[in-house]
Amino acid sequence: MTRVREAVIAGARGLFLSVIMLAGSITLFVLSVLSIAFITLGIGVFTTPLLLTAVRKWADLRRAQGAAWSDVHIPRPYRPFPADLRGGITGQVERTTLMLKDPATWRDLQWLLVDMTAGYVTVIFAPALLLYPLYGYVLALGVWRPIYSAGGGEWYGFIHVTSQTDANLAALLGTALGVVGVFASPSILRGHFLLARTMLAPTSSMRERELAQRVDRLTETRHDAVDSSAAELRRIERDLHDGAQARLVAMGMDLGTIEAMIEKDPAKAKQLISKARQNSGEALTELRDLVRGIHPPVLAERGFGDAVKALALRLPVQTEVDVELYGRPDAPVESAAYFAVSEALTNTIKHAGADRVWVDVHHAGGMLRIAVTDNGKGGASIGAGSGLSGIERRLGTFDGVLAVSSPAGGPTMVTMEIPCELS
């Protein structure tokens, strides 16, 4: 029964695809080709990005269906747009140029052609092998008689039905086709998605280019990390020199004065002792703050999840933290993720105008995924000089990525992913 159920589901999905793919693929292909042709007239500059984006969403839908229905995973090969892409007519021209220079765009258009021809022929067999046998049974029930009496000659497959014996043979053939459909329909549907993968997945040259881009990005982020580390060391040196060190020097001088005055002027010495005690407490506080800025004790002692919860407790707005981790990342990854979350929460408090914040932390598929969401005014973006740019550079050191969704009016969701394994 399980196999029959799987076959029926595969047939229904194949029928659904066969209905929508012709209309969707043909429409998108024709409109995209016309839009590209109209670029020379100026109209295509405005329509081409919209249509090619629609083609990509159509292809992404097929990718999602392949993963969910047949466990066929098709990676996205598209080149990302630069973060500083301009608006207006100039931005439209740049966007059109970038999309047309992307080899994945032309592979998408080729896929539309294949999808409406070979793809359709492939997928239609999944429902046909399950539905066509029903007609054989209908013929065997006597429907062939009025057709034959009216002068018609009905064929079922290769059987010319002119008698009840022929109709019974048609039903027998339908049964055989149904059995084939039960066993073959899931594989036929999977074959359709495998055909799509040959067109939609990145080619070897695209993968090599993507790898080269990742190497360049990692090199750039490594340089940023070195520069950031040098700046952090200078900050620590400055804080020690101007803060704790100065207080300890002052405390030493006070102790020397106390030693000289303790017999001559005990009252004055007592005042200096109180001042020295105050300086020692302030120096200790500054040293603790400095250590917390380098590597928070709660992070070292209790792990990333509890450290994020501790961050949330210090926020002036209502914050919900959901952590689902079954181990700990490596210390460098844990530290980078902690400070990235800290920076994201700081940005929220400073700029979002939110009164509620949600932090979700979990690990799946070899990725540490963190989402910081607020109900503020929105409008956040990754730009030069913003805190989000600093987070992106910090994550990039570990081949991590940052995504921001922040429409005007909110809400804002900052999503971070870092590849890592848990101990």
Copy the structure tokens of residue 84.
């500083």
DSSP type of residue 58:
H
Are 6 and 94 in the same domain? yes
Are 241 and 327 in the same domain? no
Burial (CB count <10 Å: 0-12, 13-18, 19+), residue 48: buried
- Counting residues of the chain whose pLDDT is more than 70, the rounded percentage is 77
- Per-residue pLDDT band for 47 (boundaries 50, 70, 90) equals very high
Residue 245 confidence (pLDDT)? 61
Phi-psi region of 151 (alpha: psi -120 to 50; beta: other; left: phi over 0): left
Range(s) of the domain holding residue 220? 206-294
Compute the distance between CA of residue 298 and CA of residue 306 in angstroms, rounded to an integer.
Answer: 7
CA separation, residue 332 to residues 143, 236, 295, 337 (Å): 75, 19, 10, 9
Residue 187 confidence (pLDDT)? 92
Are 118 and 16 in the same domain? yes
Are 16 and 116 in the same domain? yes
Are 237 and 191 in the same domain? no
- Residue predicted with more confidence, 308 or 190: 190
**CB-based contact 375:411 (threshold 8 Å):** yes
DSSP type of residue 203:
P
Are 157 and 96 in the same domain? yes
Are 91 and 28 in the same domain? yes
What mean pLDDT is predicted for residues 190-196?
A: 93
Q: Is 410 helix (H, G, I), strand (E, B) or coil?
A: coil
Are 124 and 161 in the same domain? yes
Greatest mean pLDDT among 85-99, 121-135, 345-359, 391-405 lies in 121-135
- Per-residue pLDDT band for 35 (boundaries 50, 70, 90) equals very high
Copy the structure tokens of residue 255.
């102790």
Residue 282 confidence (pLDDT)? 65
For the chain, the straight-line distance linking the first and the last C-alpha, in angstroms and rounded, comes to 42
Compute the distance between CA of residue 34 and CA of residue 44 in angstroms, rounded to an integer.
Answer: 8
Q: Of all helices (H) and strands (E), which one includes residue 97?
A: helix 88-101
**Helix segments in 266-368, DSSP class H:** 266-294, 297-302, 304-313, 331-347
Compute the distance between CA of residue 287 and CA of residue 278 in angstroms, rounded to an integer.
Answer: 14
Compute the distance between CA of residue 154 and CA of residue 169 in angstroms, rounded to an integer.
Answer: 13
Cis peptide before 411 (omega within 30 of 0): yes
Are 78 and 134 in the same domain? yes
Are 99 and 154 in the same domain? yes
- Per-residue pLDDT band for 164 (boundaries 50, 70, 90) equals confident
Compute the distance between CA of residue 129 and CA of residue 136 in angstroms, rounded to an integer.
Answer: 12
Please report how the helices 103-114 and 44-70 are oriented relative to each other, as an axis angle in degrees rounded to 10: 60
Sign of CA dihedral 294, 298, 300, 305: negative
Residue 217 confidence (pLDDT)? 63
What mean pLDDT is predicted for residues 243-265?
A: 66
What mean pLDDT is predicted for residues 22-46?
A: 89
Q: 211: Cβ–Cβ under 8 A, 6 or more apart, which residues?
A: none
Q: 152: Cβ–Cβ under 8 A, 6 or more apart, which residues?
A: none
Are 164 and 218 in the same domain? no
Are 253 and 230 in the same domain? yes
Instruction: Examine the fold and report which residue of 260, 294, 328 is the final residue of a domain before the chain moves on.
Output: 294
Compute the distance between CA of residue 416 and CA of residue 387 in angstroms, rounded to an integer.
Answer: 14
User: What total number of domains does the chain contain?
Assistant: 3
Q: Cα torsion for 376, 381, 386, 391, to the nearest 10°?
A: 90
Compute the distance between CA of residue 75 and CA of residue 98 in angstroms, rounded to an integer.
Answer: 20
- Per-residue pLDDT band for 223 (boundaries 50, 70, 90) equals low
What mean pLDDT is predicted for residues 192-199?
A: 92
Compute the distance between CA of residue 365 and CA of residue 343 in angstroms, rounded to an integer.
Answer: 25
Instruction: Examine the fold and report which residue of 252, 278, 294 is the final residue of a domain before the chain moves on.
Output: 294
Instruction: Examine the fold and report which residue of 294, 327, 344 is the final residue of a domain before the chain moves on.
Output: 294
